[in-house]
Structure 1
Amino acid sequence: MKRVLGLWLIFMLMLPTVASASEDSLNFVEGGEGVTVKIGEVGTIDLGKGLYYLDKKDTEKVSLMDGNLLTGYEVASIGSTDENQNWFVYFDYIDSGHIKDAKDDKINADKLLKQIKKGNEEANKEKPESDHIFATGWDIEPFYDSKTHNLTWSLMLEDSERDPFLNYQVKLLTRHGYLSIILVTDSASREQAASVLSNEILANFTPTPGQAYGDYDSKTDKAASFGLTGLILGGAGVAAAKKVGLLVLLKKFWFIVVAAVAGAFSFIRNKLRGNKTTQTQDETETAPDQTIT
Protein backbone atom coordinates (compact mmCIF):
# COMPACT_ATOMS: atom_id res chain seq x y z
CA MET A 1 0.00 0.00 0.00
CA LYS A 2 2.84 2.41 0.83
CA ARG A 3 4.34 1.76 -2.63
CA VAL A 4 1.02 2.50 -4.34
CA LEU A 5 0.51 5.71 -2.37
CA GLY A 6 4.07 6.75 -3.09
CA LEU A 7 3.66 6.27 -6.84
CA TRP A 8 0.33 8.09 -6.75
CA LEU A 9 1.90 11.04 -4.93
CA ILE A 10 4.80 11.19 -7.39
CA PHE A 11 2.37 11.16 -10.31
CA MET A 12 0.25 13.97 -8.81
CA LEU A 13 3.36 16.10 -8.26
CA MET A 14 4.39 15.46 -11.86
CA LEU A 15 1.09 16.57 -13.46
CA PRO A 16 2.20 20.21 -13.98
CA THR A 17 5.42 18.89 -15.49
CA VAL A 18 3.49 16.69 -17.90
CA ALA A 19 1.32 19.60 -18.99
CA SER A 20 4.25 21.93 -19.58
CA ALA A 21 6.19 19.19 -21.38
CA SER A 22 3.39 18.70 -23.87
CA GLU A 23 3.47 22.40 -24.69
CA ASP A 24 7.20 22.56 -25.29
CA SER A 25 8.62 21.99 -28.74
CA LEU A 26 10.67 18.88 -29.30
CA ASN A 27 14.09 19.26 -30.92
CA PHE A 28 14.11 16.55 -33.58
CA VAL A 29 17.21 15.41 -35.41
CA GLU A 30 16.24 13.87 -38.73
CA GLY A 31 18.34 11.10 -40.19
CA GLY A 32 20.21 11.14 -43.47
CA GLU A 33 23.64 10.76 -44.97
CA GLY A 34 26.36 11.70 -42.49
CA VAL A 35 24.01 12.14 -39.50
CA THR A 36 25.41 10.59 -36.30
CA VAL A 37 23.68 10.83 -32.91
CA LYS A 38 24.85 10.09 -29.36
CA ILE A 39 23.38 7.31 -27.26
CA GLY A 40 24.39 8.51 -23.85
CA GLU A 41 28.13 8.25 -23.26
CA VAL A 42 28.45 4.65 -24.44
CA GLY A 43 28.02 4.93 -28.20
CA THR A 44 26.72 6.57 -31.36
CA ILE A 45 24.30 5.59 -34.13
CA ASP A 46 24.50 6.53 -37.79
CA LEU A 47 20.92 7.71 -38.22
CA GLY A 48 19.42 6.71 -41.55
CA LYS A 49 16.88 8.57 -43.66
CA GLY A 50 13.30 8.17 -42.48
CA LEU A 51 14.28 8.12 -38.81
CA TYR A 52 14.31 10.86 -36.20
CA TYR A 53 16.18 11.17 -32.90
CA LEU A 54 15.46 12.86 -29.57
CA ASP A 55 18.15 13.52 -26.97
CA LYS A 56 17.92 12.84 -23.23
CA LYS A 57 15.94 15.97 -22.38
CA ASP A 58 13.35 15.49 -25.12
CA THR A 59 13.14 11.75 -24.46
CA GLU A 60 12.18 12.57 -20.88
CA LYS A 61 9.46 14.89 -22.19
CA VAL A 62 8.02 12.17 -24.42
CA SER A 63 8.25 9.64 -21.60
CA LEU A 64 6.18 11.92 -19.38
CA MET A 65 3.66 12.40 -22.19
CA ASP A 66 3.28 8.61 -22.32
CA GLY A 67 2.48 8.56 -18.61
CA ASN A 68 5.77 7.00 -17.48
CA LEU A 69 7.63 7.87 -14.30
CA LEU A 70 11.19 9.03 -14.97
CA THR A 71 14.06 7.03 -13.48
CA GLY A 72 16.99 9.15 -14.65
CA TYR A 73 18.29 6.36 -16.89
CA GLU A 74 16.84 7.85 -20.10
CA VAL A 75 19.50 8.79 -22.67
CA ALA A 76 17.81 8.94 -26.11
CA SER A 77 14.94 7.77 -28.31
CA ILE A 78 14.37 7.09 -32.01
CA GLY A 79 11.23 6.90 -34.14
CA SER A 80 10.09 6.77 -37.76
CA THR A 81 8.85 9.69 -39.83
CA ASP A 82 6.78 7.23 -41.90
CA GLU A 83 3.13 7.45 -40.81
CA ASN A 84 2.66 3.79 -41.74
CA GLN A 85 5.21 2.65 -39.15
CA ASN A 86 3.82 2.59 -35.63
CA TRP A 87 6.77 2.21 -33.30
CA PHE A 88 9.07 4.15 -31.00
CA VAL A 89 12.35 3.13 -29.31
CA TYR A 90 13.52 4.22 -25.86
CA PHE A 91 17.21 3.95 -24.89
CA ASP A 92 18.14 3.80 -21.21
CA TYR A 93 21.62 3.23 -19.83
CA ILE A 94 22.13 1.37 -16.55
CA ASP A 95 25.56 1.35 -14.90
CA SER A 96 24.99 -2.05 -13.29
CA GLY A 97 28.52 -3.35 -13.50
CA HIS A 98 29.82 -5.69 -16.18
CA ILE A 99 27.66 -8.76 -16.83
CA LYS A 100 30.51 -11.22 -17.25
CA ASP A 101 30.57 -14.69 -18.81
CA ALA A 102 27.22 -13.91 -20.42
CA LYS A 103 27.71 -16.48 -23.16
CA ASP A 104 27.81 -19.22 -20.50
CA ASP A 105 24.55 -18.13 -18.82
CA LYS A 106 21.90 -20.68 -19.82
CA ILE A 107 18.39 -19.28 -20.27
CA ASN A 108 15.47 -21.51 -19.30
CA ALA A 109 12.54 -19.83 -21.07
CA ASP A 110 9.82 -22.03 -19.52
CA LYS A 111 11.10 -21.47 -15.98
CA LEU A 112 11.45 -17.76 -16.61
CA LEU A 113 7.87 -17.48 -17.86
CA LYS A 114 6.58 -19.12 -14.69
CA GLN A 115 8.59 -16.67 -12.57
CA ILE A 116 7.33 -13.75 -14.63
CA LYS A 117 3.70 -14.80 -14.23
CA LYS A 118 4.19 -15.24 -10.49
CA GLY A 119 5.77 -11.81 -10.18
CA ASN A 120 3.00 -10.44 -12.39
CA GLU A 121 0.32 -11.74 -10.03
CA GLU A 122 2.06 -10.22 -7.01
CA ALA A 123 2.45 -6.85 -8.72
CA ASN A 124 -1.23 -6.77 -9.70
CA LYS A 125 -2.19 -7.03 -6.03
CA GLU A 126 -0.65 -3.60 -5.48
CA LYS A 127 -2.50 -1.90 -8.36
CA PRO A 128 -6.12 -0.99 -9.12
CA GLU A 129 -7.91 -3.65 -11.13
CA SER A 130 -8.08 -1.28 -14.12
CA ASP A 131 -4.26 -1.22 -14.20
CA HIS A 132 -3.75 -4.98 -14.07
CA ILE A 133 -1.50 -6.54 -16.70
CA PHE A 134 -1.25 -10.26 -17.47
CA ALA A 135 1.72 -12.09 -18.99
CA THR A 136 0.39 -14.78 -21.35
CA GLY A 137 3.48 -16.21 -23.03
CA TRP A 138 6.55 -15.57 -25.14
CA ASP A 139 6.22 -13.79 -28.47
CA ILE A 140 9.99 -14.38 -28.86
CA GLU A 141 11.81 -16.50 -26.30
CA PRO A 142 14.90 -14.84 -24.78
CA PHE A 143 18.10 -15.37 -26.76
CA TYR A 144 21.63 -14.01 -26.47
CA ASP A 145 23.94 -13.18 -29.39
CA SER A 146 27.51 -13.54 -28.12
CA LYS A 147 28.91 -11.73 -31.17
CA THR A 148 26.90 -8.53 -30.73
CA HIS A 149 26.37 -8.99 -26.95
CA ASN A 150 22.63 -8.40 -27.38
CA LEU A 151 19.99 -10.08 -25.23
CA THR A 152 16.55 -10.03 -26.88
CA TRP A 153 13.05 -11.17 -25.99
CA SER A 154 9.41 -10.28 -26.61
CA LEU A 155 6.67 -11.04 -24.12
CA MET A 156 2.96 -11.30 -24.90
CA LEU A 157 0.74 -9.42 -22.45
CA GLU A 158 -2.87 -8.41 -21.92
CA ASP A 159 -4.29 -5.35 -20.20
CA SER A 160 -7.22 -5.31 -17.78
CA GLU A 161 -9.64 -5.48 -20.72
CA ARG A 162 -7.76 -8.52 -22.03
CA ASP A 163 -6.56 -6.59 -25.06
CA PRO A 164 -3.15 -7.94 -26.19
CA PHE A 165 0.09 -5.99 -26.50
CA LEU A 166 3.81 -6.75 -26.56
CA ASN A 167 6.86 -6.02 -24.46
CA TYR A 168 9.83 -6.20 -26.88
CA GLN A 169 13.22 -5.52 -25.32
CA VAL A 170 16.88 -5.64 -26.25
CA LYS A 171 19.70 -5.37 -23.71
CA LEU A 172 23.02 -4.36 -25.30
CA LEU A 173 25.81 -5.24 -22.89
CA THR A 174 28.71 -2.80 -22.46
CA ARG A 175 31.88 -2.57 -20.43
CA HIS A 176 30.27 -1.09 -17.31
CA GLY A 177 26.59 -1.99 -17.70
CA TYR A 178 24.00 -2.21 -20.44
CA LEU A 179 21.76 -0.25 -22.74
CA SER A 180 18.11 -1.11 -22.18
CA ILE A 181 16.33 -0.73 -25.51
CA ILE A 182 12.54 -0.84 -25.30
CA LEU A 183 10.50 -1.06 -28.50
CA VAL A 184 7.03 0.44 -28.11
CA THR A 185 4.72 -0.93 -30.77
CA ASP A 186 1.53 -2.90 -31.35
CA SER A 187 1.22 -6.57 -32.25
CA ALA A 188 0.54 -5.92 -35.93
CA SER A 189 3.65 -3.77 -36.34
CA ARG A 190 6.08 -5.77 -34.21
CA GLU A 191 7.78 -7.75 -36.98
CA GLN A 192 8.43 -4.69 -39.15
CA ALA A 193 9.49 -2.56 -36.18
CA ALA A 194 11.84 -5.24 -34.84
CA SER A 195 13.44 -5.53 -38.27
CA VAL A 196 14.08 -1.78 -38.42
CA LEU A 197 15.47 -1.82 -34.88
CA SER A 198 17.85 -4.67 -35.67
CA ASN A 199 18.92 -3.83 -39.23
CA GLU A 200 18.71 -0.03 -39.41
CA ILE A 201 19.37 1.12 -35.85
CA LEU A 202 21.39 -1.37 -33.79
CA ALA A 203 23.40 -2.46 -36.85
CA ASN A 204 24.63 1.14 -37.05
CA PHE A 205 25.60 1.39 -33.38
CA THR A 206 29.27 2.08 -32.63
CA PRO A 207 30.54 1.83 -29.02
CA THR A 208 32.45 4.77 -27.64
CA PRO A 209 36.16 3.84 -27.53
CA GLY A 210 36.82 2.07 -24.25
CA GLN A 211 33.13 1.35 -23.55
CA ALA A 212 32.63 -1.82 -25.60
CA TYR A 213 31.83 -5.14 -23.91
CA GLY A 214 35.27 -6.48 -24.77
CA ASP A 215 36.99 -3.55 -23.03
CA TYR A 216 36.13 -4.95 -19.60
CA ASP A 217 39.08 -5.12 -17.21
CA SER A 218 38.52 -7.48 -14.29
CA LYS A 219 41.28 -5.75 -12.32
CA THR A 220 39.64 -2.32 -12.30
CA ASP A 221 35.98 -2.65 -13.35
CA LYS A 222 32.98 -3.53 -11.22
CA ALA A 223 31.11 -6.74 -12.05
CA ALA A 224 27.32 -7.06 -11.89
CA SER A 225 25.78 -9.31 -9.25
CA PHE A 226 23.44 -10.95 -11.80
CA GLY A 227 23.55 -12.56 -15.23
CA LEU A 228 21.22 -12.79 -18.20
CA THR A 229 18.38 -14.41 -16.26
CA GLY A 230 18.49 -11.63 -13.66
CA LEU A 231 18.55 -9.07 -16.44
CA ILE A 232 15.35 -10.48 -17.93
CA LEU A 233 13.75 -10.44 -14.48
CA GLY A 234 14.38 -6.74 -14.06
CA GLY A 235 18.11 -6.36 -13.55
CA ALA A 236 17.87 -7.01 -9.83
CA GLY A 237 18.50 -10.73 -9.70
CA VAL A 238 16.15 -13.70 -9.68
CA ALA A 239 15.71 -13.79 -5.91
CA ALA A 240 14.74 -10.12 -5.75
CA ALA A 241 12.39 -10.53 -8.70
CA LYS A 242 10.60 -13.39 -6.94
CA LYS A 243 10.32 -11.47 -3.70
CA VAL A 244 9.25 -8.05 -4.93
CA GLY A 245 7.26 -8.98 -8.02
CA LEU A 246 8.59 -8.61 -11.55
CA LEU A 247 6.50 -5.65 -12.65
CA VAL A 248 7.63 -3.53 -9.72
CA LEU A 249 11.19 -3.89 -11.01
CA LEU A 250 10.50 -3.11 -14.62
CA LYS A 251 10.07 0.30 -16.13
CA LYS A 252 8.24 1.56 -19.17
CA PHE A 253 6.36 -0.67 -21.51
CA TRP A 254 4.30 -2.54 -18.94
CA PHE A 255 2.17 0.58 -18.50
CA ILE A 256 1.62 1.36 -22.19
CA VAL A 257 -1.30 -0.30 -23.96
CA VAL A 258 -1.95 -0.42 -27.68
CA ALA A 259 -4.63 2.28 -27.63
CA ALA A 260 -2.23 4.75 -26.03
CA VAL A 261 0.57 3.92 -28.45
CA ALA A 262 -1.22 5.16 -31.55
CA GLY A 263 -1.99 8.48 -29.86
CA ALA A 264 1.63 8.93 -28.82
CA PHE A 265 2.88 8.34 -32.37
CA SER A 266 0.39 10.86 -33.78
CA PHE A 267 1.34 13.45 -31.20
CA ILE A 268 5.07 13.15 -31.84
CA ARG A 269 4.65 13.27 -35.62
CA ASN A 270 2.43 16.34 -35.33
CA LYS A 271 5.18 17.98 -33.31
CA LEU A 272 7.69 17.01 -35.99
CA ARG A 273 5.48 18.52 -38.71
CA GLY A 274 4.98 21.63 -36.61
CA ASN A 275 8.71 22.10 -36.19
CA LYS A 276 9.22 21.73 -39.95
CA THR A 277 6.47 24.24 -40.71
CA THR A 278 7.90 26.77 -38.28
CA GLN A 279 11.38 26.30 -39.70
CA THR A 280 10.10 26.77 -43.27
CA GLN A 281 8.21 29.92 -42.28
CA ASP A 282 11.29 31.34 -40.58
CA GLU A 283 13.41 30.65 -43.66
CA THR A 284 10.79 32.28 -45.91
CA GLU A 285 10.55 35.37 -43.72
CA THR A 286 14.33 35.83 -43.64
CA ALA A 287 14.84 35.14 -47.36
CA PRO A 288 14.26 38.77 -48.56
CA ASP A 289 16.82 40.08 -46.06
CA GLN A 290 19.32 37.50 -47.20
CA THR A 291 18.75 38.47 -50.82
CA ILE A 292 19.20 42.16 -50.11
CA THR A 293 22.38 41.48 -48.19
Structure 2
Amino acid sequence: MKKLFAAAGLLAVLWAGGGVQAQEAGQPQVAFDWQRGPGTGAIGQRAAIEIPDEYVFLDAAETRRYVEWTENIPSDEEYLFGPTSDKWEAYFSFYEEGYVKDDESLDADELLASLQESQAASNEERRSRGWSELVLEGWHVPPRYNPDTRTLEWATLLRDSESGNTSINYNTRVLGRKGTMSVQVVARPEDFDAGLAEFKASMDGFAYNAGERYADYMPGDRVAEYGLAALVTGGAVAAAGKKGLFGVIGAFLASAWKLLLAGLVGIGVWLKSRFGKKGGR
Protein backbone atom coordinates (compact mmCIF):
# COMPACT_ATOMS: atom_id res chain seq x y z
CA MET A 1 0.00 0.00 0.00
CA LYS A 2 1.18 3.46 -0.76
CA LYS A 3 0.93 6.05 2.01
CA LEU A 4 0.12 9.65 1.13
CA PHE A 5 1.25 12.33 3.55
CA ALA A 6 0.09 15.94 3.86
CA ALA A 7 3.67 17.07 4.24
CA ALA A 8 5.37 15.03 1.57
CA GLY A 9 8.91 13.96 2.34
CA LEU A 10 8.62 14.23 6.13
CA LEU A 11 8.26 10.51 6.62
CA ALA A 12 9.84 7.48 5.02
CA VAL A 13 7.63 4.39 4.76
CA LEU A 14 9.24 0.99 5.04
CA TRP A 15 7.56 -2.41 4.67
CA ALA A 16 8.52 -5.17 7.06
CA GLY A 17 6.71 -8.48 7.41
CA GLY A 18 3.07 -8.23 8.49
CA GLY A 19 3.34 -4.69 9.80
CA VAL A 20 4.16 -1.31 8.41
CA GLN A 21 7.03 0.79 9.70
CA ALA A 22 7.03 4.57 9.53
CA GLN A 23 9.97 6.78 10.19
CA GLU A 24 10.35 10.52 10.51
CA ALA A 25 13.73 11.85 9.47
CA GLY A 26 16.19 11.18 12.29
CA GLN A 27 13.62 9.33 14.41
CA PRO A 28 13.28 5.61 15.27
CA GLN A 29 11.05 3.46 13.12
CA VAL A 30 7.51 2.85 14.36
CA ALA A 31 5.52 -0.20 13.27
CA PHE A 32 1.73 -0.54 13.31
CA ASP A 33 -0.08 -3.83 12.91
CA TRP A 34 -2.56 -2.89 10.17
CA GLN A 35 -5.34 -5.36 9.46
CA ARG A 36 -5.84 -5.18 5.72
CA GLY A 37 -8.96 -5.99 3.74
CA PRO A 38 -10.75 -7.97 2.72
CA GLY A 39 -11.72 -9.00 6.21
CA THR A 40 -13.72 -8.02 9.28
CA GLY A 41 -12.68 -5.61 12.00
CA ALA A 42 -14.00 -6.36 15.49
CA ILE A 43 -15.01 -3.19 17.36
CA GLY A 44 -14.65 -4.66 20.83
CA GLN A 45 -17.46 -7.03 21.76
CA ARG A 46 -20.10 -4.61 20.49
CA ALA A 47 -19.90 -4.44 16.72
CA ALA A 48 -17.90 -5.17 13.60
CA ILE A 49 -17.17 -3.54 10.26
CA GLU A 50 -16.30 -5.15 6.97
CA ILE A 51 -12.85 -4.17 5.72
CA PRO A 52 -12.96 -3.98 1.91
CA ASP A 53 -9.95 -4.39 -0.31
CA GLU A 54 -7.66 -1.35 -0.08
CA TYR A 55 -8.96 -0.49 3.40
CA VAL A 56 -7.26 -0.98 6.76
CA PHE A 57 -8.23 -1.35 10.42
CA LEU A 58 -6.43 -1.06 13.76
CA ASP A 59 -7.60 -2.65 17.00
CA ALA A 60 -7.89 -0.60 20.19
CA ALA A 61 -4.31 -1.14 21.39
CA GLU A 62 -2.79 -0.28 18.01
CA THR A 63 -5.09 2.72 17.57
CA ARG A 64 -3.95 4.07 20.94
CA ARG A 65 -0.31 3.73 19.86
CA TYR A 66 -1.07 5.41 16.56
CA VAL A 67 -2.96 8.32 18.14
CA GLU A 68 -0.20 8.91 20.68
CA TRP A 69 2.43 8.75 17.93
CA THR A 70 0.61 11.49 16.06
CA GLU A 71 0.86 13.56 19.28
CA ASN A 72 -2.85 13.47 20.07
CA ILE A 73 -4.75 12.26 23.12
CA PRO A 74 -6.46 8.87 22.69
CA SER A 75 -9.86 8.04 24.13
CA ASP A 76 -10.40 5.06 26.42
CA GLU A 77 -11.06 2.65 23.56
CA GLU A 78 -11.28 3.49 19.88
CA TYR A 79 -10.71 1.72 16.59
CA LEU A 80 -9.31 3.18 13.37
CA PHE A 81 -10.76 2.37 9.96
CA GLY A 82 -10.08 3.92 6.57
CA PRO A 83 -8.87 3.56 2.99
CA THR A 84 -5.24 3.00 2.12
CA SER A 85 -5.46 6.16 -0.01
CA ASP A 86 -5.30 8.03 3.31
CA LYS A 87 -7.89 10.56 2.15
CA TRP A 88 -9.90 10.06 5.33
CA GLU A 89 -9.99 8.10 8.57
CA ALA A 90 -12.82 7.03 10.88
CA TYR A 91 -12.50 6.42 14.61
CA PHE A 92 -15.09 4.22 16.35
CA SER A 93 -15.79 4.58 20.08
CA PHE A 94 -18.69 3.10 22.05
CA TYR A 95 -20.37 4.98 24.88
CA GLU A 96 -22.23 2.65 27.24
CA GLU A 97 -24.86 5.18 28.24
CA GLY A 98 -27.99 3.11 27.90
CA TYR A 99 -30.77 2.82 25.37
CA VAL A 100 -31.35 6.28 23.86
CA LYS A 101 -34.96 6.81 22.86
CA ASP A 102 -35.31 8.26 19.37
CA ASP A 103 -38.81 9.66 19.64
CA GLU A 104 -38.01 13.36 20.06
CA SER A 105 -37.84 16.01 17.36
CA LEU A 106 -34.73 18.08 16.72
CA ASP A 107 -34.87 21.89 16.65
CA ALA A 108 -31.76 22.91 14.72
CA ASP A 109 -31.96 26.58 15.72
CA GLU A 110 -32.34 25.79 19.40
CA LEU A 111 -29.49 23.27 19.33
CA LEU A 112 -27.20 25.70 17.53
CA ALA A 113 -27.90 28.41 20.11
CA SER A 114 -26.98 25.95 22.88
CA LEU A 115 -23.73 24.99 21.17
CA GLN A 116 -22.80 28.63 20.56
CA GLU A 117 -23.40 29.45 24.21
CA SER A 118 -21.12 26.60 25.25
CA GLN A 119 -18.49 27.67 22.74
CA ALA A 120 -18.49 31.21 24.12
CA ALA A 121 -17.78 29.81 27.57
CA SER A 122 -15.06 27.53 26.20
CA ASN A 123 -13.26 30.50 24.66
CA GLU A 124 -12.54 31.79 28.15
CA GLU A 125 -10.53 28.62 28.76
CA ARG A 126 -8.84 28.96 25.38
CA ARG A 127 -7.79 32.53 26.17
CA SER A 128 -6.34 31.41 29.52
CA ARG A 129 -4.17 28.94 27.61
CA GLY A 130 -3.03 31.56 25.13
CA TRP A 131 -4.98 30.02 22.27
CA SER A 132 -7.06 31.82 19.69
CA GLU A 133 -10.82 31.80 20.02
CA LEU A 134 -13.04 29.60 17.89
CA VAL A 135 -16.25 30.94 16.43
CA LEU A 136 -19.12 28.51 15.85
CA GLU A 137 -20.68 30.02 12.76
CA GLY A 138 -23.49 27.58 12.06
CA TRP A 139 -24.42 24.23 10.60
CA HIS A 140 -22.69 22.59 7.69
CA VAL A 141 -25.16 19.72 8.08
CA PRO A 142 -28.14 20.37 10.41
CA PRO A 143 -28.87 17.52 12.84
CA ARG A 144 -30.81 14.75 11.13
CA TYR A 145 -31.80 11.29 12.24
CA ASN A 146 -32.39 8.26 10.03
CA PRO A 147 -34.83 5.91 11.81
CA ASP A 148 -34.08 3.10 9.37
CA THR A 149 -30.37 2.96 10.21
CA ARG A 150 -30.74 4.45 13.72
CA THR A 151 -28.06 6.97 12.78
CA LEU A 152 -27.82 10.60 13.90
CA GLU A 153 -25.49 12.97 12.06
CA TRP A 154 -24.64 16.65 12.08
CA ALA A 155 -21.76 18.96 11.23
CA THR A 156 -20.83 22.44 12.44
CA LEU A 157 -18.75 25.20 10.88
CA LEU A 158 -15.92 26.59 13.01
CA ARG A 159 -13.64 29.56 12.33
CA ASP A 160 -10.36 30.41 14.03
CA SER A 161 -10.59 34.04 15.16
CA GLU A 162 -6.92 34.79 14.42
CA SER A 163 -6.04 32.85 11.29
CA GLY A 164 -9.50 32.92 9.76
CA ASN A 165 -9.12 29.23 8.90
CA THR A 166 -12.32 27.20 9.03
CA SER A 167 -13.12 23.60 9.88
CA ILE A 168 -16.05 21.24 9.61
CA ASN A 169 -16.78 19.26 12.76
CA TYR A 170 -18.63 16.16 11.50
CA ASN A 171 -20.35 13.84 13.95
CA THR A 172 -22.14 10.50 13.67
CA ARG A 173 -23.89 8.47 16.37
CA VAL A 174 -25.23 4.98 15.70
CA LEU A 175 -27.78 3.93 18.32
CA GLY A 176 -27.51 0.51 19.92
CA ARG A 177 -29.21 -1.45 22.67
CA LYS A 178 -26.82 -0.39 25.45
CA GLY A 179 -25.48 2.92 24.16
CA THR A 180 -24.22 4.72 21.09
CA MET A 181 -21.33 4.22 18.71
CA SER A 182 -19.53 7.49 18.07
CA VAL A 183 -17.77 7.68 14.72
CA GLN A 184 -15.25 10.45 14.12
CA VAL A 185 -14.36 11.18 10.53
CA VAL A 186 -11.12 13.00 9.78
CA ALA A 187 -10.13 14.21 6.31
CA ARG A 188 -8.25 16.91 4.52
CA PRO A 189 -10.62 19.75 3.58
CA GLU A 190 -10.12 19.14 -0.13
CA ASP A 191 -11.10 15.49 0.36
CA PHE A 192 -14.14 16.21 2.55
CA ASP A 193 -17.02 15.66 0.12
CA ALA A 194 -15.58 12.59 -1.55
CA GLY A 195 -14.33 11.21 1.75
CA LEU A 196 -17.69 11.64 3.44
CA ALA A 197 -19.42 9.83 0.58
CA GLU A 198 -16.95 6.96 0.82
CA PHE A 199 -17.35 6.81 4.59
CA LYS A 200 -21.13 6.59 4.36
CA ALA A 201 -20.86 3.84 1.76
CA SER A 202 -18.45 1.91 3.97
CA MET A 203 -20.94 2.09 6.86
CA ASP A 204 -23.07 -0.42 4.96
CA GLY A 205 -20.55 -2.92 6.30
CA PHE A 206 -21.02 -1.82 9.93
CA ALA A 207 -23.32 -3.78 12.23
CA TYR A 208 -23.83 -4.28 15.93
CA ASN A 209 -23.37 -7.83 17.12
CA ALA A 210 -26.39 -9.97 17.95
CA GLY A 211 -27.87 -8.81 21.24
CA GLU A 212 -26.31 -5.34 20.88
CA ARG A 213 -28.61 -3.97 18.19
CA TYR A 214 -31.15 -1.25 18.87
CA ALA A 215 -33.94 -3.67 18.00
CA ASP A 216 -32.65 -6.10 20.66
CA TYR A 217 -33.87 -3.86 23.47
CA MET A 218 -35.70 -5.69 26.25
CA PRO A 219 -37.81 -4.36 29.12
CA GLY A 220 -35.56 -3.83 32.09
CA ASP A 221 -32.59 -2.62 30.03
CA ARG A 222 -31.00 0.59 31.18
CA VAL A 223 -32.55 3.60 29.44
CA ALA A 224 -30.59 6.82 28.98
CA GLU A 225 -31.91 9.93 30.74
CA TYR A 226 -31.71 11.95 27.55
CA GLY A 227 -32.64 11.71 23.89
CA LEU A 228 -31.28 12.67 20.49
CA ALA A 229 -30.90 16.38 21.23
CA ALA A 230 -28.50 15.69 24.09
CA LEU A 231 -26.30 13.65 21.76
CA VAL A 232 -25.86 16.80 19.69
CA THR A 233 -25.28 19.24 22.56
CA GLY A 234 -23.00 16.90 24.47
CA GLY A 235 -25.33 16.31 27.38
CA ALA A 236 -25.17 12.59 26.75
CA VAL A 237 -21.40 12.51 27.07
CA ALA A 238 -21.41 14.75 30.10
CA ALA A 239 -24.07 12.65 31.80
CA ALA A 240 -22.07 9.51 31.15
CA GLY A 241 -19.03 11.14 32.73
CA LYS A 242 -16.97 10.64 29.60
CA LYS A 243 -14.66 12.83 27.58
CA GLY A 244 -16.26 13.89 24.34
CA LEU A 245 -14.10 13.17 21.31
CA PHE A 246 -15.89 14.21 18.15
CA GLY A 247 -14.86 13.80 14.55
CA VAL A 248 -13.27 16.82 13.00
CA ILE A 249 -12.52 17.70 9.43
CA GLY A 250 -10.03 20.54 9.75
CA ALA A 251 -8.64 23.25 7.50
CA PHE A 252 -5.96 24.62 9.79
CA LEU A 253 -2.35 25.67 9.23
CA ALA A 254 0.31 22.99 8.93
CA SER A 255 1.90 24.14 12.17
CA ALA A 256 -1.31 23.59 14.15
CA TRP A 257 -1.61 19.83 14.09
CA LYS A 258 -3.25 19.62 17.47
CA LEU A 259 -5.94 21.99 18.69
CA LEU A 260 -8.07 21.72 21.81
CA LEU A 261 -11.66 22.76 21.31
CA ALA A 262 -12.11 23.20 25.04
CA GLY A 263 -15.72 22.78 26.03
CA LEU A 264 -17.23 23.04 22.54
CA VAL A 265 -20.16 21.14 23.96
CA GLY A 266 -19.36 21.76 27.59
CA ILE A 267 -16.37 19.38 27.72
CA GLY A 268 -12.93 19.06 26.17
CA VAL A 269 -12.68 18.01 22.55
CA TRP A 270 -9.38 17.32 20.84
CA LEU A 271 -9.05 18.17 17.19
CA LYS A 272 -7.39 15.18 15.60
CA SER A 273 -5.31 16.53 12.77
CA ARG A 274 -3.44 13.46 11.59
CA PHE A 275 -1.98 14.67 8.38
CA GLY A 276 1.31 16.17 9.45
CA LYS A 277 2.74 13.11 11.15
CA LYS A 278 1.34 9.68 10.40
CA GLY A 279 2.37 6.07 10.22
CA GLY A 280 2.47 4.33 6.88
CA ARG A 281 -0.30 2.05 5.81
State the TM bucket, normalised to the shorter chain.
Answer: 0.7 to 0.9
Displacement of 1:49 after TM fit? 1.2
List structure 1 runs of 4+ shifted beyond 6 angstroms: none
Name the structure where strand makes up a greater proportion of residues: 2
Name 1:203's counterpart in structure 2. Answer: 204
Q: Which runs of 5+ in 2 are unaligned?
A: 1-27, 242-261
Check the 8 A contact 2:238/2:267 in 1, yes or no: no
Q: Secondary structure in 2 aligned to 1:130?
A: coil
Offset at 1:111? 1.2
In the TM superposition, residue 203 of structure 1 has moved relative to its aligned partner by: 0.5
For structure 1, the residue ranges without an aligned partner over 5 or more in a row are: 1-21, 273-293
Offset from partner CA, 1:118-173 (integer Å, 9 cap, x none): 10110110123425322111111110000110001111112342201111111001
User: Which letter maps to 2:107?
Assistant: N
Q: Distance in 2 between matches of 1:28 and 1:225?
A: 38
Give the aligned residue type for 1:79.
Answer: G
Larger radius of gyration: 1
Amino acid at match of 2:45: E
Q: Show the counterpart of 1:114.
A: 113
- Aligned ranges for residues 134-283 of structure 1 at < 5 Å? 134-159=135-160, 160-200=162-202, 202-219=203-220, 221-234=221-234, 235-236=236-237, 245-249=263-267, 251-252=269-270, 255-256=271-272, 260-264=273-277, 267-268=278-279, 271-272=280-281
Greater relative contact order (Cα < 8 A, sep 6+): 2
Look up the SS of the partner of 2:32 in the other structure: coil
CA offsets per residue over residues 201-221 of structure 1, 9 Å max, x none? x101122110000111122x1
Letter in 1 for 2:81: I
Q: What is the aligned-residue RMSD (CA, Å)?
A: 2.5
Sequence identity (%): 24
> Corresponding residue for 1:36?
40
3-state SS of 1:251 partner: strand
User: TM-score by structure 2 length?
Assistant: 0.75
Alignment match, 2:57: 53
2-structure distance, mates of 1:46, 1:183: 17
Counterpart of 1:228 in structure 2: which amino acid?
Answer: L
Matched with 1:5 is none
| Equivalent pairs, count | 231
**Structure 2 match to 1:280:** none
Change (3 A) 1:250 1:199: farther
Residue identity matched to 2:175: L
Alpha-carbon distance in structure 2 between the residues aligned to 1:179 and 1:126 = 28
- Contact 1:31–1:52 (8 Å) recurs in 2: yes
Is residue 142–residue 151 contact of structure 1 (8 Å, CA) maintained in 2? yes
Q: Counting helix residues as a fraction of each chain, which structure ranks higher?
A: 1
- The amino acid of 1:30's aligned partner reads R
